[in-house]
Amino acid sequence: MNYSNLTLHIKEGIAFIALSRADKHNAIDMTLFNELNHAIKRLKKDTSIRAVIVSGQGEDFCSGIDVKSMFSAPKNALRLLFKWLPWHSNQAQMVSTGWRNLAVPVIFAMHGRCWGAGMQIAFGGDFRIATPDASISIMEAKWGLIPDMGGTLALRELVPLDVAKELAMTAKIISGEEALSLGLLTKVSKDPMQAAIKLANEIATFSPDSVSACKKLYNKSWWSSTGAVIARETIYQIKILTGKNYKIKSYNQTHDEAKQKPFKPRMKW
């Protein structure tokens, strides 16, 4: 698929995705919804990548939904909201929840306006790095709506209930520094892209199987019962111990850099 509203390239095991509607402040239209979902599905099949970094071109990471474009055709809203089963993600939600289903860490490098749908997308990532002066808002209330793109899954893991309610009910705009203090961001940086690359490269020095298993373990277990958590820990560990990458990591730990062995593509979970 040739993308028109985003770019995707892979370099040294890191997949770089950039929203590329800079003239529209990367506001999300139907095309961008479709392209993001396609890119997520494409990356899910690629067992060679070690991390994904998502950013936005131009002045802003993402200013939210392109309201004029989306609501000029009422069928668009129906396409986005439709789902066969209520507990599955619809097309609008998949641009957030889809990142959670990737077997590699997803890092968002953010700047400028990160409003509404832009934040909902970013909430699906494992890490969010923004500039200190970024403009951040859960802005759906401004349009008389609620956040409905799957970001609630992450928000409940990041901030207390009263903080989430205040942000969503007031459409309050906060800076990157304040967002960090509330727990919405992982860190702030004057250069979020470089910070994201540094983090991705650091993670890539570890076994792709253990990294993938950690992500799945924590995503599935954060709100699970005690029994389910300890069962997953044991099952995942046994699977890792029987894999090739565990042996490679053990070998690399005892040999100098010149003798390091490359990891195999990660196992499927």
241/245 Cα distance (integer angstroms): 9
Integer-rounded Cα Rg, in Å, for the chain is 19
Domain extents for the chain? Answer: 6-203, 208-259
> Average model confidence (pLDDT) for the chain?
92
Is residue 53 within 8 Å of 197, Cβ to Cβ? yes
Return the closest-CA partner of residue 109 out of 182, 49, 19, 43. 19
pLDDT tens for residues 168-206? 999 999 999 999 999 999 999 999 999 999 999 999 999
- The reported pLDDT for the residue numbered 76 is 63
User: Between residues 30 and 108, which one has the greater pLDDT?
Assistant: 108
- The reported pLDDT for the residue numbered 197 is 98
Mean pLDDT confidence for 133-144: 94
- The reported pLDDT for the residue numbered 82 is 64
Is residue 98 within 8 Å of 118, Cβ to Cβ? no
Q: Which residues contact 4 (CB under 8 A, 6 or more apart)?
A: 31, 35
- The reported pLDDT for the residue numbered 78 is 63
* CATH tag, 6-203: 3.90.226.10
pLDDT tens for residues 1-34? 799 999 999 999 999 999 999 999 999 999 999 9
